[in-house]
A and B are shown apart, each in its own frame.
Chain A
Amino acid sequence: MSSDPAADLVIDVAGITKRFGDKTVVNAIDLQVRRGEIYGFLGPNGSGKTTFIRMLCGLLTPDAGSGTCIGCDVRTQQAEIKRNVGYMTQRFSYYEDLTIRENLDFICRIYDVPDRAAAVRRSLERLGLEKRSHQLAGQLSGGWKQRLALAACLIHSPRLLLLDEPTAGVDPKARRDFWDEIHGLAADGLTVLITTHYMDEAERCDRLAYIAYGNLLARGTLDEVIARAGLSTWTVAGPDLRGLAAALRGRPGVEQVVAFGNTLHVSGRDAANLRAAIDAVRDPRHEWAQAEPGLEDVFISMMDEAKDNFR
Chain B
Amino acid sequence: MHRFTFHRFWAIVLKEFIQMKRDRVTFGMMVGIPLMQLMLFGFAINSDPKHLPTAIRAADQGPFTRSFVEALRQSDYFKLVRETDSEAEAARLLQLGEVQFVINIPPDFSRRLLRGERPTVLIEADATDPAASGPALAAARSLAAGILDRDLTGPLARLRSRAGPVDFEIHAHYNPENITQYNVVPGLMGVVLTMTMVVITALAITRERERGTMENLLATPVRPFEVMAGKILPYIAVGYIQVTLILLAARLIFDVPMVGNLVLIYAVALVFIAANLAMGITFSTLAQNQLQAVQMAFFFFLPSILLSGFMFPFRGMPEWAQWIGACLPNTHFLRIVRGILLKGSGVSDILPELWPLLLFLAVAMTVGVKRYRQTLD
Q: Is A bound to B?
A: yes
Enumerate chain A interface residues (CB-CB to B < 8 A).
54, 57-61, 79-80, 82-83, 85, 87, 89, 91-98, 102, 106-107, 109-112
The docked-state distance in angstroms from the alpha carbon of A200 to that of B219 is 29
Looking at chain B's contact residues, the main secondary structure is helix
Q: Is the CB of A93 within 8 A of B215?
A: yes
The docked-state distance in angstroms from the alpha carbon of A85 to that of B377 is 19
1/0 contact string of B285-302 vs chain A (CB within 8 Å): 000000000000000000
Enumerate chain B residues within 8 angstroms of A111, measured Cβ to Cβ. 220-221
Partner of B376, one of A60, A79, A82, A106: A60
Enumerate chain A residues within 8 angstroms of B213, measured Cβ to Cβ. 93-95
Q: Is the CB of B220 within 8 A of A82?
A: yes
Q: Which A-chain residue is minimally distant from B376 (CB atoms)?
A: A59
Q: Is the CB of B19 within 8 A of A97?
A: yes
Enumerate chain B residues within 8 angstroms of A54, measured Cβ to Cβ. 376
Enumerate chain A residues within 8 angstroms of B221, measured Cβ to Cβ. 79, 82-83, 110-111
Q: Is the CB of B2 within 8 A of A112?
A: no
Q: Is the CB of A91 within 8 A of B212?
A: yes
The docked-state distance in angstroms from the alpha carbon of A87 to that of B220 is 9
The docked-state distance in angstroms from the alpha carbon of A106 to that of B216 is 12
Q: Is the CB of B222 within 8 A of A110?
A: yes
Partner of B377, one of A60, A82, A94, A109: A60
Q: Is the CB of A79 within 8 A of B18?
A: no
CB of B7 closer than 8 Å to a CB of A = yes
- Given contacts A109-B14, A110-B7, 4 further A-B pairs with CB under 8 A are A59-B215, A89-B212, A98-B15, A106-B14
Partner of B212, one of A83, A93, A97, A109: A93
Which 6 A-B residue pairs are closest in the complex by CB-CB distance? A109-B11, A93-B216, A87-B219, A91-B212, A93-B212, A82-B221
CB of B162 closer than 8 Å to a CB of A = no
Q: Is the CB of A89 within 8 A of B216?
A: yes
Q: Which A-chain residue is minimally distant from B8 (CB atoms)?
A: A110
Could you tell me the distance in whole angstroms from the C-beta of B225 to the nearest C-beta in chain A?
A: 13
Enumerate chain A residues within 8 angstroms of B5, measured Cβ to Cβ. 112
A92-B212 contact in complex given A87-B219, A98-B18, C-beta closer than 8 Å: yes
Enumerate chain B residues within 8 angstroms of A82, measured Cβ to Cβ. 219-221
The docked-state distance in angstroms from the alpha carbon of A92 to that of B222 is 19
The docked-state distance in angstroms from the alpha carbon of A105 to that of B359 is 37
Could you tell me the distance in whole angstroms from the C-beta of B310 to the nearest C-beta in chain A?
A: 35
Enumerate chain B residues within 8 angstroms of A83, measured Cβ to Cβ. 221
A79-B2 contact in complex given A98-B18, A109-B11, A110-B8, C-beta closer than 8 Å: yes
Enumerate chain A residues within 8 angstroms of B214, measured Cβ to Cβ. 93
The docked-state distance in angstroms from the alpha carbon of A140 to that of B1 is 36
A61-B377 contact in complex given A82-B219, A106-B11, C-beta closer than 8 Å: yes
A97-B8 contact in complex given A59-B218, A92-B212, A109-B14, C-beta closer than 8 Å: no
Q: Is the CB of A109 within 8 A of B7?
A: yes
Q: Which residues 203-256 of B sit at the A interface, judged by CB distance below 8 A?
A: 211-216, 218-222
Q: List 5 A-B contacts (CB under 8 A).
A: A59-B218, A79-B221, A82-B219, A92-B212, A110-B220
Q: Which B-chain residue is minimally distant from A107 (CB atoms)?
A: B220
Enumerate chain B residues within 8 angstroms of A58, measured Cβ to Cβ. 219
Could you tell me the distance in whole angstroms from the C-beta of A94 to the nearest C-beta in chain B?
A: 7
Q: Is the CB of A57 within 8 A of B219?
A: yes
Q: Is the CB of B219 within 8 A of A89?
A: yes
CB of B118 closer than 8 Å to a CB of A = no
Q: Which B-chain residue is minimally distant from A57 (CB atoms)?
A: B219
Could you tell me the distance in whole angstroms from the C-beta of A99 to the nearest C-beta in chain B?
A: 9
